[in-house]
A = this chain, B = another copy of it.
């Protein structure tokens, strides 16, 4: 039975702050995520190398060095806890034994750090979505589905605290929608394909999480959708307003995981997090300036405004002048968290939240849509329907309207071409019917049917 979200999790905008959420999650080690403290979430990846039976030992050594290094630094800086994310590279999901081995290495090092330093840690295991290895993607069965689930299951049994994924259902259509700035196709990709796939996928993942002791299904990220849009916008390839709208239309898709039983913290790169937190009350992970090594962004500070864990997204094991890059990332995250938590200890978290917001909100439309009041206003409308597709269409309409108003009132910096694009999007959105199937029939002829298989989405 899916959960229903038909009202906001908050009554008061002032309660909507970083570090605490109405439904905190407690890890095996006693970290209470959303319980008042913002924790750092550290991510890392291999330097350039091949992965095969002859190199896996070397890769394991690198992961082992990384985790030992970051946990040592975390202990030296007295962090109240660390969430480690292990996000797999494709080879580690395709060959689950590789992924399982690395996950175990990380869990072991975390145990050692607990003994050695008394450090509290938890691990989020995030297999990459392998299903797109088939072209067109096969979403509900087959070799890739099987190996992916194998990695999930064993990780859960081996002691992972959280499981997540950046799932890709609908990406095969969204990719070209992005570069063409085609909002109708993007709404189809996220609101029809994405939401349908999420429902299927997260039902399975919630069940798998249940196989473990105190293991939680944590949440998904529309990374390949909304973050790709953000990166394209940063490069000047597509309009910032388009990327801002994509961000918000990714919200109903993300919500599906929580309807199916995910409890957070949602994924770091899921900037749709603030909406999820407002609607579900579950804690969220976010990333901003301290993830600049993974991607530049116009939301370096505001991303932290209501974050419960604060992440560096990812960094390769390369040497900087001081230390290996993941250790540098660990230190930066810890100081960011210290500052936020210091404000909380003073009872000044609201002041600090508003500074994070003020820092960025007026400078970019993508930052503007993450303002807590904007998040509340849009979220309050979205909960009025339980139809995921309609929610997606509404998200687009509401965001376009919010941005037009903000630009007209001079509340946010905008490119001279932005208003034209907002008008264009509005016109396109207005052609979309309220019913998903009706929309599918309408748009079918425009879709590249070599790229996707309708039956994989129950269509």
- Residue of B320, B338, B346, B359 near A335 (CB, 8 A) is B359
Q: Is the CB of A320 within 8 A of B316?
A: yes
State A339–B321 Cα separation when bound (angstroms). 26
State A342–B360 Cα separation when bound (angstroms). 9
Q: List 7 A-B contacts (CB under 8 A).
A: A45-B321, A78-B413, A289-B331, A292-B331, A293-B325, A294-B321, A352-B355
- Encoded as 1 (CB less than 8 Å from any B CB) or 0, chain A from 17 to 60 comes to 00000000000000000000000000001000000000000000
Q: Number of A interface residues, CB 8 Å?
A: 49
State A348–B351 Cα separation when bound (angstroms). 9
Q: A78-B413, A355-B342, A355-B346 are in contact. Are A335 and B293 (CB under 8 A)?
A: no
Q: A335-B359, A348-B355, A356-B339 are in contact. Are A293 and B316 (CB under 8 A)?
A: no
Shortest C-beta distance, A281 to chain B (Å), equals: 27
Interface residues of A in 310-366 (CB under 8 A from B): 314-316, 318, 320-323, 325, 327-328, 331-332, 334-336, 338-339, 342-343, 345-346, 348, 351-352, 355-356, 358-360, 363
Q: Which residues of B contact A320 (CB under 8 A)?
A: 293-294, 315-316, 318, 325
Q: Is the CB of B346 within 8 A of A73?
A: no
Shortest C-beta distance, A348 to chain B (Å), equals: 7
Q: Is A88 an interface residue (CB 8 A)?
A: no
Interface residues of A in 401-421 (CB under 8 A from B): 413
Q: Is the CB of A322 within 8 A of B294?
A: yes
Q: Is the CB of B321 within 8 A of A314?
A: yes
Q: Is the CB of B339 within 8 A of A355?
A: yes
Q: Is A295 an interface residue (CB 8 A)?
A: yes
Q: Which residues of B contact A300 (CB under 8 A)?
A: 331-332, 334-335, 338
- Encoded as 1 (CB less than 8 Å from any B CB) or 0, chain A from 69 to 96 comes to 0000100111000000000000000000
Q: Is the CB of B355 within 8 A of A292?
A: no
Interface residues of A in 277-324 (CB under 8 A from B): 288-290, 292-296, 298, 300-301, 314-316, 318, 320-323
State A328–B182 Cα separation when bound (angstroms). 31
| Total copies of this chain within the assembly | 2
Instruction: Apart from A77-B298, A292-B332, A338-B359, list 10 A-B contacts with CB within 8 A.
Output: A78-B363, A289-B332, A293-B320, A293-B321, A316-B321, A332-B332, A335-B359, A338-B360, A339-B356, A339-B359
Q: Which residues of B contact A328 (CB under 8 A)?
A: 292-293, 296
Q: A73-B296, A296-B73, A351-B351 are in contact. Are A289 and B336 (CB under 8 A)?
A: yes
State A76–B292 Cα separation when bound (angstroms). 14
- In order of increasing CB-CB distance, the 4 nearest A-B pairs are A300-B335, A289-B335, A293-B320, A338-B359
- Residue of B290, B293, B331, B343 near A296 (CB, 8 A) is B331
Q: Which residue of B lies closest to A234 (CB)?
A: B76
Of listed A322, A328, A348, residue having the most chain B CB within 10 A: A322
Q: Is the CB of B78 within 8 A of A301?
A: no
Q: Is the CB of B355 within 8 A of A301?
A: no
State A112–B300 Cα separation when bound (angstroms). 27
Of listed A288, A325, A335, A358, residue having the most chain B CB within 10 A: A335
State A78–B300 Cα separation when bound (angstroms). 13
Q: Is the CB of A290 within 8 A of B332?
A: yes
Q: Which residues of B contact A293 (CB under 8 A)?
A: 320-322, 325, 328
Q: A323-B296, A331-B296 are in contact. Are A301 and B339 (CB under 8 A)?
A: yes
Q: Is the CB of A301 within 8 A of B359?
A: no
Interface residues of A in 353-406 (CB under 8 A from B): 355-356, 358-360, 363
State A332–B335 Cα separation when bound (angstroms). 13
Q: Which residue of B lies closest to A325 (CB)?
A: B320
State A234–B345 Cα separation when bound (angstroms). 27
State A289–B331 Cα separation when bound (angstroms). 7
Q: Is the CB of B325 within 8 A of A315?
A: no
State A300–B329 Cα separation when bound (angstroms). 12
